[in-house]
């Protein structure tokens, strides 16, 4: 045990308990044993913490990958729906041409969803 630590212990015991101990007091054997036990405990605790951090990282990556899969599936479905809707609108316009420049509200909603899902995919 380092002398600086011993001196600190001697001073704290003297100040708090009015007991004077020497540097060769058997008390320091107990302090050293306690220090060794504490270091072992901290080593095990650090190992457990690292294992848990790795497990959390793996779980997080799995959830993110699953979220990406779900977003890709939904985006694919929305794109197919949009394609079908555009095809239907194009066919209807060929039959009865419209002069309106406003988009169909359903198409605006679908486009907004596509943009939102695309942004979510890019951010994940």
pTM for the whole thing?
Answer: 0.52
Which of 84, 80, 89, 78 minimizes the C-alpha distance to 116? Answer: 78
Phi, psi of 118 (to 5 degrees): -65, -45
Neighbour tally for 6: CB within 10 Å = 19
What CA–CA distance (Å, rounded) separates 7 from 5? Answer: 5
pLDDT band, residue 111 (cuts 50/70/90): confident
Which of 104, 112, 16, 120 minimizes the C-alpha distance to 68? Answer: 120
pLDDT band, residue 12 (cuts 50/70/90): very high
Phi, psi of 51 (to 5 degrees): -65, -40
Neighbour tally for 62: CB within 10 Å = 10
For the chain, give every domain's residue range. 3-123
CA distances from 4 to 20, 22, 26, 29, 103 (A): 16, 13, 17, 16, 80
Give the model confidence (pLDDT) of 29-70 as tens digits: 998 899 999 999 999 999 999 999 999 999 999 998 998 889
Give the tokens for residue 34. 């306690």
């Amino acid at each position: 045990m380092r002398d600086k630590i011993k001196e600190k212990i001697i001073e704290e015991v003297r100040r708090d308990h009015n007991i004077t101990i020497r540097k060769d007091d058997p008390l320091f054997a107990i302090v050293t044993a306690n220090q060794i036990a504490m270091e072992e405990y901290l080593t095990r605790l650090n190992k457990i913490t690292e294992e848990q951090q790795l497990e959390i990282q793996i779980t997080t990556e799995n959830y993110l990958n699953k979220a990406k899969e779900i977003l890709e599936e939904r985006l694919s479905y929305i794109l197919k729906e949009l394609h079908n809707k555009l095809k239907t609108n194009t066919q209807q316009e060929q039959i009865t041409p419209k002069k309106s420049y406003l988009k169909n509200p359903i198409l605006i909603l679908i486009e907004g969803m596509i943009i939102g899902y695309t942004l979510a995919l890019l951010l994940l």
